Structure 1
Amino acid sequence: MFPEPKEGKTRRVGFLLLPGFSMNSFTFAMEPLRVASKVAREPLYDCPVFSLDGKNVEASNGLRLEVQGDLASASAPENIILCGGHNISGFDTSDFMPWLRSIGRQGKVIGALYTASYYLAKAGLADKTKCAVHWEYLSAFKETFPEIDTSNELFEVSAKGFTCVGGTAGLDMMLNFISDLHGFELARMVADQFVHERIRDRREFQYFGLSARYSIQDQRLLRVIQIMEDHLEEPLSLEELSKIAGSSRRQLERMFSKQFNKSPARYYSELRLYRSRQLIMQTKMRIIEVALACGYNSSAHFSRCYRNFFGCTPLSERKLPSQTQKL
């Protein structure tokens, strides 16, 4: 992925830490490059770290990291990796977005970790055929950028750069890059340093399949759950779901009661409400837009269901600090 350096053997890969960046995602992407130089006993990579204003930047876990420069300094490396956090729209991008578009025009390799793919898309630099997005932000991303084809895979690589869902996927991505550039043996040795027994391919999915996630073997039930997840905006009736499962409505209700101790209607409703919460917290969509995107015909009905389940209205939820577990 990273092109040959203009001078010498050292590739410069700069990391731009956005406010509230994920320390987890940053570490798993940067450390394999450092370790590769250590194992190879030569400076294969130089990894300077930057922030928007050149000041130390706070990660999502509260730790502050010292940086080497600001946006102007970050323009120097041929390869730039944006490190995002959970607070997608919580900082001023008036200087950042023009800088990012300028970097794109210069033909530099631009990578995005975790939620930073949002900024690539906003700047018009995301690959519209494939863009890897963390599963937690996938719904919000699709609603905000419907023209971009999103991916459930660990990372995606294009001629412009790459996107990565963050977390440990950054480690696998960098190990794949090291293997391509310096050979599998070096990548394996770097993986050993992390006690990482297997280098995952980019095509692997971010999370367990339905069967492993719920410990379900009944293919009829798995099919119904998948159909529910695929039809949140236009919910299907229980009769339609029963037909898909090849069972009666009563049989479907027994399957859900045995597996989840709740009715299929309740399970379906909770899926839609959890999806709506993601959109409330991660986008600026109007309440009625969120309601329609999750299968509710009116904002009033949606707000009542939301309050009954989460204990607060969608509008008040949006004003609260996010309590969602972050990487």
Structure 2
Amino acid sequence: MEQNADSVEKPKRYIFLLLTDFSILSLSTALETLRISNRIAGRKLFEWVLCSEDGQPARSSLGTDFEVHTGLEVLSRDDTILICGGAHIDEATTQTVVHWLRREARKGLSVGGLCTGAYTMAKAGLLDGRRATIHWENQDSFREAFPQVDLTTWTYTGDENRYSTAGGTSGIDLMLHLVSELEGEELADAVAQQLNYSSIRVIQHDARVSVPDRINLRHTKLSHVIHEMEQNIEDGLSSSELAKRVNISTRQLERLFQRYLGQTPKRYFTELRLQRARNLLEQTDMKIIDIAVACGFSSPAHFSKLFRRRFDNSPHGLRKEKLFGRRRQGFAQ
């Protein structure tokens, strides 16, 4: 019996929205996962459309223009939008893009963000009360801008029909997850093998290498203390409070920091706060006084003094460099 053409299942369609300075790596890993899925299956399971805000070529993270198929068109409810973000995501997230996303999402479309695309989703209100992730460099600024979002440090997230990734190769993880949901684990495993991706990471995998891992630190109590510091940047915890949380004396805690990190707990905590402050200065337009408070400094003057000593520049100076860089980029275009 001949199969009716109308009964053949249509390919699942993904709409990739390329924002200015989008990550080439995130786009390519996602597209390759879909392409290889089609090849292994021997039929067109997935198809994709590349779009930009105005239908014109989109500038990539490599500084080259990338051709697209269309602008912001009206989509089908069965489509899935994947927003490809990158650097300067706040500037790339225009009101036109936000309005389009809101309109299409109201139809019930699934929406995902690659690399920093979760910022655009949150700006459109699509992540309120939902789990999400974003590139680790944008975690601090995202948390300040969108407290209503349940931000995680996972490689990728899925909360009903909302998805997000943390950049790098995490686009592969998300797409393999979607392939598995739609076509089964066997195909997803076969695609992972073709990609030489030996281990499909579970959805709870932490995207950022932790401080203890980066310094090859395996002392459980010290790792716990560092985690407590990272989670309490604004409020702050004294050495005695930190020691109490891991059931050791303050003197023992200080010895651990000196042995493994070569500095006192107080100095290490200050370094964490200064690094977060620098992230917020570079990635947000928050007032400097608000950044000082958010990072646990008692006064703007004290914050500026420590910041200058650490980075050989003042918070105001770094903010001016950021603004100058934006203007220079605008002139170059």
TM more than 0.5: yes
Equivalent residue, structure 2, for 1:149: 150
- The superposition leaves residues 110-148 of structure 1 with CA deviations (integer Å, 9 ceiling, x where unpaired) of 111121111111111115131222222122111111112
2: CA distance, partners of 1:225 / 1:180: 37
Equivalent residue, structure 1, for 2:331: none
Counterpart code for 2:83: L
Q: 1:301 to 1:16 in 2, by over 3 A?
A: same
Deviation at 1:22, TM superposition (A): 1.0
Equivalent residue, structure 2, for 1:304: 305
Q: Which has the higher contact order (CA 8 A, sep 6+)?
A: 1
Equivalent residue, structure 2, for 1:78: 79
Q: Does 1:239 align with 2:235?
A: no
Equivalent residue, structure 1, for 2:110: 109
2: CA distance, partners of 1:177 / 1:111: 11
Contact 2:84 2:114 survives alignment (8 Å): yes
Deviation at 1:7, TM superposition (A): 7.2
Deviation at 1:236, TM superposition (A): 1.6
1: CA distance, partners of 2:290 / 2:230: 19
1: CA distance, partners of 2:177 / 2:161: 17
Equivalent residue, structure 1, for 2:130: 129
Counterpart code for 2:296: G
Q: How do 1:164-313 residues align onto structure 2 when only pairs under 5 Å count?
A: 164-313=165-314
Counterpart code for 2:258: S
Gaps (5+ residues) in structure 1?
none
Which deviates the most, 177-186 or 208-217? Answer: 208-217
- Runs of 4+ aligned residues of structure 1 deviating over 3 Å after TM superposition are 5-8, 73-77, 208-211, 242-251
Q: 1:14 to 1:135 in 2, by over 3 A?
A: same
Aligned residues: 319
- The superposition leaves residues 163-190 of structure 1 with CA deviations (integer Å, 9 ceiling, x where unpaired) of 2222211101111221222122221221
Contact 1:50 1:73 survives alignment (8 Å): no
CA RMSD of aligned residues (A): 2.4
1: CA distance, partners of 2:246 / 2:152: 27
SS across alignment from 2:164: strand
Equivalent residue, structure 2, for 1:317: 318
SS across alignment from 1:72: coil
Contact 1:13 1:77 survives alignment (8 Å): no
Equivalent residue, structure 2, for 1:139: 140
TM-score, normalised relative to structure 2: 0.88
Gaps (5+ residues) in structure 2?
1-5, 326-333
Q: 1:254 to 1:7 in 2, by over 3 A?
A: same
Q: Percent identity?
A: 37
Q: 1:204 to 1:91 in 2, by over 3 A?
A: closer
- The superposition leaves residues 238-265 of structure 1 with CA deviations (integer Å, 9 ceiling, x where unpaired) of 2323333444444332221221222221
2: CA distance, partners of 1:247 / 1:187: 47
